Amino acid sequence: MTSQRRNPGAHIEDTWFRKDGTQKPRHGTGKRWRVVVVGLDGERSGEYFERKSDATSYRDEQRARLSTGSYVAPKAGRLTVEQVYEEWLTQQAHAADSTAAKRESAWEVWVSPKWARVAVADIRRSAVRAWVTEMTNEGAGVATLENAVEVLRLVLGLAVEDRRIVENPAAGVKLPPREHKPRAYLSHEQVWLLADTIDARYRTLVLMLSYCGLRFGEAAALEVRDIDFLRRRVEVRQQVTEVKGRLVWTPTKGKRRRSVPFPKFLVDDLSLLCVDKRRDDQVFLAPKGGTLRLNSWRKRTWNTAINTLREVDDFPAATPHDMRHTAASLAISANANVKAVQTMLGHKSAALTLDIYSDLFPADLDGVATAFDREVEAMMARRAVGAEAAE
């Protein structure tokens, strides 16, 4: 004979007295009031309270959650963070290898030592905030804090989805703002000086990074078929990065392909790089052939040129990524439309482009004030002429 399934609900029991006023066996022992909750799955659980008012509040809260379908059984949250993490990992097949590696590192170094054995139901937002402070005191940078908290937030997010906890205690935890390093914006003269100083095999690469705004990984992934010499366009559709010594090919950031124009002065140099290559061959190659790897190329080729220039001149300590910023700077200085700059860089919106490069516009704001002065002065002159005519 099967037992009858209990209907979801919550009620209060007096554990000291029966309804007729007689004492129960546990009279005077422990907390008097017990709230019994029957979950949506028919499972029964109970919580004890010293005061009936607290029991009543808890009962009403559980009834409300049962009615909205957000009730979580206490036993459901006894899984540890590590157990939920293992389950979460099985759902991350779609994540890019670089992202997966970053999250794995954050888990092993920061999240696991603190939370692996803790039940998800026992984590409080105050404890997460305290953890952030601990990591900061141990020297973790803002990017590290972001990665670690993101992993914990994603894992606990799965616990919320599976109704193991009611809310995510890692969501909404404030982190220190990022301190962005000053960008190096090169002038036209400095770009060409760098192009003429670097290993001659990468002169064209420097110019393309500086005048097309490609990320290094996008330039390294360019194939001959991506260059349209008639229209002077580069089709940016993929990028390559190095993760734990392994090359990983992915779509461009945000998975948005874009078509970027390149100047006439690059046509001949790009043509030479494509001679005798197949359509699927890469345009820019490592010194010994094969795909360019940013870390080794920067150390052996880029830094050599930058250090040489800095020895004889007050040259900026630019990074390869600063060439992307340089492209934006030169385009804005040439009065390029913000939407055009957005498209060139592959930003999600023009607003994002303006936010990132807001430091390039103070001179433009001065120009606005100057224009206002000019217009008001002209208006005043017209009013003076009108006043004289009226007299």
pLDDT for residue 120 is more than 60 = yes
Q: What is the pTM of this model?
A: 0.64
Q: Tell me the pLDDT tens digit for each residue of 6-31.
A: 788 889 999 999 989 999 988 999 99
Are the C-beta atoms of residues 185 and 326 closer than 8 Å to each other? yes
pLDDT for residue 77 is more than 80 = no
pLDDT for residue 154 is more than 90 = yes
Q: Output the six-digit token pair for 203.
A: 């002169």
What pLDDT does residue 75 have?
Answer: 75
- How far is residue 54's CA from residue 33's CA, in Å, rounded to a whole number? 9
* Domains in the chain: boundaries: 9-71, 78-161, 188-359
Superfamily covering domain 188-359: Intergrase catalytic core (1.10.443.10)
Place of tokens 């330039």: 219
Q: Which CATH architecture has domain 78-161?
A: Orthogonal Bundle (1.10)
Classify burial at 182, counting beta carbons within 10 Å of its beta carbon; exposed 0-12, middle 13-18, buried 19 or more.
exposed
Are the C-beta atoms of residues 327 and 213 closer than 8 Å to each other? yes
In the chain, the N- to C-terminal Cα span, in Å, equals 111
- How far is residue 94's CA from residue 108's CA, in Å, rounded to a whole number? 21
What pLDDT does residue 1 have?
Answer: 43
% of residues, the chain, pLDDT over 70: 93
- pLDDT, average across residues 74-78: 75
- pLDDT, average across residues 215-227: 96
- How far is residue 324's CA from residue 184's CA, in Å, rounded to a whole number? 10
Are the C-beta atoms of residues 365 and 334 closer than 8 Å to each other? no
Classify burial at 143, counting beta carbons within 10 Å of its beta carbon; exposed 0-12, middle 13-18, buried 19 or more.
exposed
- pLDDT, average across residues 62-88: 83
- How far is residue 298's CA from residue 307's CA, in Å, rounded to a whole number? 12
Which residues lie across from 239 on neighbouring strands? 250
User: Which stretches does DSSP call E strand in the chain?
Assistant: 9-14, 33-38, 44-49, 227-228, 233-236, 238-243, 246-251, 258-261
pLDDT for residue 258 is more than 50 = yes
- How far is residue 93's CA from residue 85's CA, in Å, rounded to a whole number? 14
What pLDDT does residue 90 have?
Answer: 86
